Amino acid sequence: MEKHIVDERTGIPYTLVGDYYLPWGDLSDDEPEQRPIGIWGQRHLRYIKKYRKTLYAELLTSGKLNSHLAEIDEQAEEMFSRLVAQMAEKEGVTEALKASDQMEWVGRMNNIRNRANEIINRDIINI
């Protein structure tokens, strides 16, 4: 299947997205920017497909789905890193602990990462 087509009757250009052709701007324009989507963006995509179908359809037909998911992914990744660093500092999980008792360090870091994961899922991903 061709990536871009133009309806001969109306002159409206279409771009192939998945299995469907969606209306798109002038074919001379570049394709919509495809930014990488990480785990957080994928989780948000699953959420909006299941619970926010209108938002999903609107983003998909307007060509803004990829950029929306990429922004969510970036926000979540930044928040995750910040939360893990803040919690580790507050709870005294340091490189010195890692050097002296690796198993304790791993257990405490896993606990911190799981809590940060839950916070992001609740606040950003909306799971």
The pLDDT tens digits for 46-86 are: 999 999 999 999 999 888 999 999 999 999 999 999 999 99
Note down the domain range covering 22.
Answer: 1-31
User: How far apart, in whole angstroms, are the C-alpha atoms of residue 80 and residue 35?
Assistant: 20
23 beta partners: 14
Residues 88, 121 within the same domain:
yes
Judgement on whether residues 6 and 49 belong to the same structural domain of the protein: no
By DSSP bridging, strand 20-23 and strand 13-17 are antiparallel
Average pLDDT, the chain: 88
**Domains: count for the chain:** 2
What does pTM read for this prediction? 0.70
What is the per-residue pLDDT for 8? 79
Q: Are residues 17 and 59 in the same domain?
A: no
The CA R_g of the chain, rounded to the nearest whole Å, is 21
Q: Are residues 14 and 43 in the same domain?
A: no
Distance CA 17, CA 31 (A): 11
Residue 33's pLDDT is what?
66
Q: Is the confidence at residue 27, as pLDDT, over 60?
A: no
Q: With CA atoms as reference, report the closest residue to 63 among 91, 22, 27, 100.
A: 22
Q: What percentage of the chain has pLDDT greater than the value 70?
A: 92
Nearest alpha carbon to residue 32 among 70, 78, 1, 2: 70
